[in-house]
Amino acid sequence: MELKTPYLLFLGDVPDALAAKTAIGIVEWRPEWCVGQFRMEGCGADCGIDDLSIEEAVTRGCKTMVIGVVNAGGVLPDHWIDNIVRALDAGLDVASGLHMRLEDNARIREAAERSGAQLHNVRHSNRKWATGKGTKRRGKRVLAVGTDCSVGKKYTALALEREMRGLGMDADFRATGQTGVFISGRGAAIDAVVADFIAGAAEWISPAAESDDHWDVIEGQGSLFHPSFAGVSLGLLHGSQPDALVICHEPTRKTMRGVETLLPSIQEVIDLNLACGRLNNPDIRCVGLAVNTQALEENEAKGYLAKLTAEYGLPATDPVRFGMREIAQRLKDGF
């Protein structure tokens, strides 16, 4: 799906910042797309941008109201419906990352039909995907892959895009998850695509570029070693057809998230991703390691990253603490 910008971020009356993490992520990475936030009475979250009514947002050029919250069960509370209907009647599209489809509510569906506005359910694409073809396409691609799920692949890809642009490179973040779609304005929740079409969806997400020098920086999902999500990771790897991989890792884990499977080594992850990636790109290479060192003291983190750099002969960094400049420079130099 493709979303119209700029956004009004709807926070409802959520109790805290954690419940508004989608909206906060959008503000962090795409502040220029955010005209303001709309908060109901009792809201405990604040994105730090202007509080606007729906009507004020329209006068500022807003095109889409984004429901930028998460909640238990992924449903829309009944007392939010009036404001969503008001936004549709004002001509705004409405986009949601919740599990519930917007059109499942009769009042929302009727308001959209009345105004002609679009409803976007970011977790549920209406696009009919083709199967993957594996045909070489123009441009370059770098994919974030993980030793496990939830190790920072989205943040790594976004931080890398920012550094690449800072070096004057032509680079675009490509989203494969619901929050990433809001941040990029385009993409698909790849884990909600029927298995036969995952590679085809990944090809659509990172299409042929207009220039040989253009880079797609692709958000990874899951891990080839995770017994729950390896199928999604493999389809994304094949469809992305990456020229370069960045391995994402969290050093304190012993087992993979949510299961009893032991965490693979970084070398195992490099080797398997390269072996599988060669199906569609024989020249695929690993260019760096992005490590979530949040659980380590800063000096301990620096020592650990230096050890990895020496062991693997690749730049190792924490995207949050130390940025992605060395890996971005490696890509610019032809790695």
Instruction: Indicate which CATH number applies to the domain containing 57.
Output: 3.40.50.720
In terms of C-beta density within 10 A (0-12 exposed, 13-18 middle, 19 or more buried), how is residue 325 classed? Answer: middle
Residue 101's Cβ-side half-sphere holds a number of Cα atoms within 13 Å equal to: 8
- The reply to whether 110 and 201 lie within a common domain is no
What is the Cα–Cα distance from 215 to 192, expressed in whole angstroms? 25
Q: Is residue 126 part of a domain?
A: no
Write out residues in the chain with pLDDT < 70, as ranges. 72
Q: With CA atoms as reference, report the closest residue to 11 among 56, 73, 68.
A: 68
Indicate if 109 and 63 belong to the same structural domain: yes
Compute the distance between CA of residue 111 and CA of residue 109 in angstroms, rounded to an integer. Answer: 6
Number of domains in the chain: 2
Task: Give me the CATH number covering residue 173.
Answer: 3.40.50.300
For residue 2, what pLDDT is reported? 86
Among candidate residues 60, 90, 121, the one where a domain is terminated: 121
Give the distance, in angstroms, between the CA of residue 232 and the centroid of all CA atoms in the same chain: 15
This prediction has a pTM of 0.88
Q: Does 18 fall in a domain? A: yes
Q: Which amino acid belongs to residue 33?
A: W
Residues 152, 144: Cα–Cα separation, whole Å:
9
Say how far apart CA 335 and CA 326 lie, in whole Å. 11
Is the domain of 187 the same as that of 258?
A: yes
Residue 134 lies in a domain: no
Output Rg (C-alpha) for the chain, integer angstroms.
20
Domain holding 152, by residue range, is: 140-332
Instruction: Answer whether residue 66 is part of any domain.
Output: yes
State the Cα torsion 293-297-298-299 to the nearest 10°: -120
Same domain for 108 and 223, yes or no, is no
User: 255 with 150, same domain?
Assistant: yes
Is the same domain home to 66 and 213? Answer: no
Residue 257 placed within a domain = yes
Domain boundary among 121, 148, 174: 121
Same domain, 177 and 300: yes
55, 87, 121 — which closes off a domain? 121
Residues 303, 283: Cα–Cα separation, whole Å: 31
Question: Does residue 103 contact residue 118 with C-beta atoms inside 8 Å?
Answer: no
Same domain, 162 and 109: no
pLDDT confidence of residue 274:
98
**132 in a structural domain:** no
Shared-domain flag, residues 159 and 291? yes
**Does 70 share its domain with 110?**
yes
Does some domain include residue 174?
yes
Length of the chain: 335
Residue 128 counted as domain residue: no
The CA-atom distances, in angstroms, between 42 and each of 69, 102, 114, 181 are 15, 23, 30, 28
- Same structural domain, 151 and 291: yes
Question: Same domain, yes or no, for 317 and 226?
Answer: yes
